[in-house]
Amino acid sequence: MAFLLEVHSILRWVIVVIGFVALLKFLFGIIRKNDFGKMDRGLSAGFSGLMDLQVTLGFGLFFIIGFGDAGFSSFRIEHLVIMLIAAVAGHAPAMFKKVANKYAVALFAVLAAMVLIFIGVVRLPGGWSR
């Protein structure tokens, strides 16, 4: 379980870095009025794919820890719900792929996911220092 928790924790930082890169790329795409290209779709898909992996690892931890000695504490349930919403927000570009301004959708989707990630991690005991 310690290994799974460590991977989950490291992946959080990978998602944050990719999220910031995506925010900058999508913001510059809006400013420059570029077409939403393959790299942009790949960045968006990569971000949401990493979120999916993180949620999968999180579910594993939630049930391993929950059925173990620690139980299903309220902060774990809250963290799970917030992160599920963040993962759904990260998938918005795929859900709204026929929208004219794909950069705006992608930017706000990643921004919403990042804000929810921040809140979800802060609410954990130890927060970002874990």
| pLDDT per residue of the chain (130 residues) written in tens, 0 to 9 | 789 889 999 999 999 999 999 999 999 999 999 998 899 999 999 999 999 999 999 999 999 888 887 788 888 899 999 999 999 999 998 888 788 889 999 999 999 999 999 999 998 888 777 7
Domain boundaries, the chain: 2-129
Q: Considering all CA atoms of the chain, what is the largest pairwise distance in Å, rounded to the nearest integer?
A: 54
45 φ/ψ sector (left φ>0, alpha ψ -120 to 50, else beta): alpha
- The model's pTM is 0.89
Spell out the residues 6+ positions from residue 107 whose beta carbon is closer than 8 angstroms to its own.
23, 26, 27, 30
Cβ atoms < 10 Å from Cβ of 40: 19
